Amino acid sequence: MINLNAGAPKGPLAEQWATYKSGCKLVNPNNKRKLDIIVVGTGLAGASAASTLGELGYNVKVFCYQDTPRRAHSIAAQGGINAAKNYQNDGDNVFRLFYDTIKGGDYRARESNVYRLASISPQIIDLCVAQGVPFAREYGGLLANRSFGGTQVSRTFYARGQTGQQLLIGAYSALSRQIAEGNVTLLNRRDILDIVIVDGKARGVIARNLVTGEIERHSAHAVVLASGGYGNVFYLSTNAMGSNVTPAWSAYKKGALFANPCFTQIHPTCIPVHGELQSKLTLMSESLRNDGRIWVPIDKSDAEKIRRKEIRPEDIAETKRDYYLERRYPAFGNLVPRDVASRAAKERCDAGYGVGSTGLAVFLDFGDAIKRLGRDAIAARYGNLFQMYEQIVNDDPYKTPMMIYPAVHYTMGGIWVDYDLMTTVPGLYAIGECNFSDHGANRLGASALMQGLADGYFVLPYTIAGYLSGEIHTPRIATDLPEFDAAAKGVTDRLSALKNTNGKESVDFFHRKLGKIMWEYCGMARNESGLLKALDLIAELKAEFASSVRIPGGLNEYNPELEKAWRVQDFIELGDLMVRDALQRRESCGGHFREEFQTPDGEAMRNDEEFAFVGAWEFTGQGSTPALHKEELRFETVTPSQRSYK
Amino acid sequence: MNFTLKVWRQKNAADKGGLVTYEVKGISDDSSFFEMLDLLNQQLIGQGVDPIAFDHDCREGICGTCSLYINGRPHGPLKGTTTCQVHMRSFKDGDTIFIEPWRCSAFPVIKDLIVDRSAFDKVIQAGGYVSVNSGGIPDANTIPVPKHDSDASFDAAACIGCGACVASCPNASAMLFVSAKVSHLALLPQGRVEAERRVRHMVATMDSLGFGNCSNTYACEAECPKEISVANIARMNREFLAAKLLAEKEKQVSVSL
């Protein structure tokens, strides 16, 4: 059993990060120039880390699969970014943000990391404003805030419904400045297909140039993964089409542990699925729940008539509407955390009250808010979201309620990291959504942007120095070492094998099938027999993929089918690990709902006696069962309790 | 719905390329334009034909990856909409649809419908930022910004860098893209500090990358999926002129010293 020690400093929670910063080792400017760092990914975490490390004087190479760093999927985050600024004078502080995050995560996150995140949050806003991020402002010229799910204060900073875009442009511009100054080298349109380990330390990556197909070797003194989450394992998700687990999965196969893979977030407010050919799902920001009220008809017969399009939602009288979140959770109402809101929608639809042509949708109604505040005020807050909705659904949400249904959105699980954000492989770091560390079993809205930027701008630049201070005598790593030869050969062999399968079915065929298995058995609700069935189905799918995938085109050219094939092969293996993790966790917590473990009124039932740990999985070889290791979670500052939003 | 597609196929940058005709049948009017192309690609893979390569990623209109001339119009028939948000209900059953890549020497074709837009990154690297490091930053509320300025700055910052402005311009000018970044930062006190330097460097880099000049056709504004206003171009021209005057004044001052 690997001893998983986070290595947080001793002493009171509130002083740990300051203690750490006072004691951590530094690298002097002359030596920084001689040290190479690879950053994989250019979302909020990757771009902020690469630019900050460049500012500090390290030699940085940054990789992205997109044509430019500005397209990473952080760009699609809508609602906002949390920070404990207490600008609204409504009782917020660092401790409350810390507490809300731990509680929202259903007590499955590490106290020390979460406290640090909350304490750094105000600095992020300062930096972003200095970069020129056009956050929403009041008429007095100061910053505006709004509230989000799972909290009772207004601490969310936002830029209309495009906060992720504006923050990413801020990080991208900081990165562009470092590229112009020669501190950072950008390698775009590259997939990272393997991590190279030399003498037990991460020393480089194998990349495929997506335009030419060339297999490239890149070496460094440390490797930082910022490759995002793995929601596309479900095929349909709100992730970008190219979002993938491949760099993280390569790290797992090279010895990094993968923590809590079954913790996935199903977001309650997405546009419902319309048909078999659908390629992706679109999120409608959680901020809509500030003013929108969620309901379904009280009478099943009304729901049926709506599904048959015999009546419209406006025809249903106020007294015939069930605002089920307000009914079940009067204290938080429509602003309960995401996992709670998603499950409540599923419960109503499964019980036969769902609307839309498929019956898998509920209403999100702005009628009251428009009456109270006027159409213009609502347009100013959510205009672009309403427009996007109308574009996709062909229905005007100013006149008729939106229809929404939960969809896969974010993954709390990821590569296990310690307090330094280092994985179990020395010199290999994981930041942002790609690690597991801060959100426990459920992430609160507007906290992903906060974590990505905290890791990249303010945490990693300190912690990585501790490791690199021990590397100042290590010369540039050669890329003709046997370890690079072996990794490059492994990549070339696997690509050839994929190409030479010459089967009958396209990659998408397998990806869709995988998505259906995962959604059905490892989605919003899970149970033992379903999970066991999923294990068999995934094993069958894996074999079928290996024997009958068809990839047109060549290896040495732009070949999107080949890219997808590699990614989907990794997703199939990840699916197996997620199911194993969901099986071992015989409790319900946050986004992980095991039907066997629920309270009489249908709420998640945690088991702190047996499951207050991080489940971290070790790869033990192809075809061999992975090994589970546990990091016990100790709650010294907060006392875990049954979450109540009533 | 059924469609006849005339799609630009080009193996690589060196290939001459040409239009190839395909038929697609049984498309739902709720399908997105890309879901229609996905379906065609699945058919092509089934026939052992290389599928059509096109750029796309978020499919929710914000990442700026997608492009395409659809029947000669950047991002297709709808105003203020990216290609990925165009749905087949915007076409008539039986329509013939022409699909081509952006055409501009600064954006060379990589394959089929995919072009290389890294020239835009180079323009941003020339000054599209505020030169601050991630330490020593004052509290965010020490810099009050009038709401009107902040909103106007946001309107310019909403640019997604897709290149439709260049594609729609008869001169392949990048003025709308460059001016959006210049305006975003020039409208904020944080960005004013180095506004003159920024506009000079960005314009010089834009000129060096093979983009054409602006001749005020306003096609860029009409086709921009984020409806970025041409008022930004006027603002950039003012900023540029002021920066040049300032530079000359500085030169005179240093001579007289």
Q: Which residues contact A596 (CB under 8 A, 6 or more apart)?
A: A527, A528, A586
Within 8 A of A75 by CB-CB distance, chain B residues are 58, 62-64
CB-based contact B133 A55, cutoff 8 Å: yes
Cβ of B50 and A553 within 8 Å?
A: yes
Q: Is the pLDDT of residue B250 over 80?
A: no
Residue indicated by tokens 């459920």:
A442
Residue A206, both tokens: 């194998």
Long-range contacts of A518-524 (CB under 8 A, 24+ apart): A518/A233, A518/A234, A518/A235, A518/A575, A518/A578, A519/A234, A519/A235, A519/A236, A519/A408, A521/A579, A522/A262, A522/A575, A522/A578, A522/A579, A522/A582, A523/A234, A523/A266, A523/A408, A524/A266, A524/A342, A524/A343, A524/A346, A524/A406, A524/A593
Mutate to test the interface with A, among B60, B83, B116, B178 (most CBs of A within 10 A): B60
Of B48, B80, B141, the CB nearest to A87: B141
Please tell me the predicted confidence (pLDDT) of residue A240: 98
Cβ-defined contact of A123 to B133 (cutoff 8 Å): no
Name residue, tokens 């834009």: B206
Q: For residues A19-24, give the mean pLDDT.
A: 96
**Residue type at position A377:** A
The pLDDT of residue B184: 98
Q: Is B65 on the interface with A (CB under 8 A)?
A: yes
Q: Which sign does the torsion angle of CA A287, A292, A294, A300 carry?
A: negative
Higher pLDDT, B252 or B146: B146
State residue A285's pLDDT score. 85
pLDDT in tens, A282-333: 998 888 998 999 999 999 999 999 999 999 999 999 999 999 999 999 999 9
* B87 vs A contacts (CB less than 8 Å): 391-392, 394
Section A364-373 average pLDDT: 96
Which residue of chain A is at minimal alpha-carbon distance from B120?
A: A68
Alpha helix locations (H) across chain B? 33-46, 118-125, 147-157, 164-168, 175-186, 189-192, 195-208, 219-223, 231-256
> Minimal CA–CA distance to B195: which of B245, B232, B242, B148?
B242
For chain A, give every domain's residue range: 267-409, 488-632
pLDDT of amino acid B253? 73
Answer whether residue B256 shows pLDDT above 70: no
pLDDT digits (tens, 9 = 90+) for A168-202: 999 999 999 999 999 999 999 999 999 999 999 99
Q: What is the pLDDT of residue B173?
A: 98
Q: How far apart are CA A198 and CA A427, in angstroms?
A: 11
Min distance A378 CA to chain B CA atoms (Å) = 16
Q: Note the pLDDT tens digit of each residue in A237-292.
A: 999 999 999 999 999 999 999 999 999 999 999 999 888 888 999 998 888 998 99
Which pLDDT score is estimated for B112? Answer: 98
> Shortest CB distance from B63 goes to which of A71, A87, A458?
A71
Question: Which residues of chain A have a CB within 8 Å of the CB of B65?
Answer: 66-67, 71
The class that CATH gives domain A267-409 is alpha beta
**SS in 3 state form for A247-284?**
HHHHHHHCCCCEECCCCEEEEEEECCCCCCCCCCCCEC
Contact A165, A285 (CB under 8 A): no
Q: What is the pLDDT of residues A540-554, one digit of tens each?
A: 999 999 999 999 999
Could you give the C-alpha distances from B119 to A70, A79, A256, B85, B251, in angstroms and in order?
13, 31, 38, 25, 31
- If you write DSSP's letter for every residue of A78-134 in order, what string do you get? -S-EE----TT-SS--HHHHHHHHHHHTTT-S-HHHHHHHHHHHHHHHHHHHHHT--
Indicate if A338 belongs to the active site. yes
pLDDT at residue number B257: 59
A8 vs A383, which has greater pLDDT?
A: A8
When scoring B30, B62, B151, B177 by the number of chain A Cβ atoms within 10 A, the one with the most, hence best to mutate, is B62
Span A82-86, average pLDDT: 98
Q: Which residues of A touch B125 (CB under 8 A)?
A: 176-177, 179-180
> Which ipTM was obtained for this model?
0.97
Quick check: A71 and B60 CB within 8 A? no
- Nearest residue of chain B to residue A457 (CA atoms): B134
Q: Where in chain B is the domain with CATH 3.10.20.30?
A: 3-111
pLDDT digits (tens, 9 = 90+) for B142-186: 999 999 999 999 999 999 999 999 999 999 999 999 999 999 999
**What is residue B208's predicted lDDT score, i.e. its pLDDT?**
97
Which of A412-416, B186-190, B241-245 bottoms out in mean pLDDT, i.e. has the lowest?
Answer: B241-245
Mean pLDDT calculated for residue range A452-465: 98
User: Taking CB atoms and an 8 Å limit, are A130 and B132 in contact across chains?
Assistant: yes
Q: CA-nearest residue of chain B to A211?
A: B110
Mean pLDDT, chain A, rounded, equals 96
CB distance A605 to A585 below 8 Å: no
Q: What is the pLDDT of residue A277?
A: 83
Name chain A contacts of B63, Cβ cutoff 8 Å: 66, 71, 73, 75-76, 240
Question: What's the rounded Cα separation, in Å, for the pair A51 and A36?
Answer: 14
Residues of chain A contacting residue B151, judged by C-beta atoms under 8 Å apart: 134
What is the assigned CATH class of domain A488-632? mainly alpha
Choose from A65, A121, A169, A271 for mutation: most chain B CBs within 10 A.
A169
Q: Among A279, A501, A549, A557, which would you mutate to test the B interface (most chain B Cβ atoms within 10 Å of its Cβ)?
A: A279
Torsion of CA A645, A642, A262, A540, to 10 degrees: -100
Q: What percent of chain B has pLDDT over 70?
A: 98
Q: Check residue A151 and give its pLDDT.
A: 85
Scan residues 84-143 of B and list those with Cβ closer than 8 Å to A. Answer: 85, 87, 89, 110-111, 114, 116-118, 120-121, 124-126, 128-134, 137-141, 143
The CA–CA distances, whole Å, from A340 to A364, A640, A643, B67 equal: 16, 18, 10, 38
**Stretch A84-88: mean pLDDT:** 97
State the DSSP string of A441-454: TSPPTT-HHHHHHI
Q: What is the mean pLDDT of residues A89-93?
A: 96
Average pLDDT over residues A124-147: 97
Given this model, what pLDDT does residue B82 score? 97
What CATH architecture is B3-111?
Roll (3.10)
Residues of chain B with CATH 1.10.1060.10: 118-256
Tell me whether domains A267-409 and A488-632 share a fold. no
Helix/strand/coil (H/E/C) assignment for every residue in A278-335: CCCCCECCHHHHHCCEEEEECCHHHHHHHHCCCCCHHHCCHHHEECHHHHHCCCCHHH
Which B residues, 152 through 191, put their C-beta within 8 Å of a C-beta on chain A? 153-154, 157-158, 160-161, 184-185, 188, 190-191
Give the architecture-level CATH label for domain B118-256.
Orthogonal Bundle (1.10)
Is residue A284 within 8 Å of A271, Cβ to Cβ?
A: yes
CB A323 within 8 A of CB A293: yes
Q: Answer whether B19 touches A (CB < 8 Å).
A: no
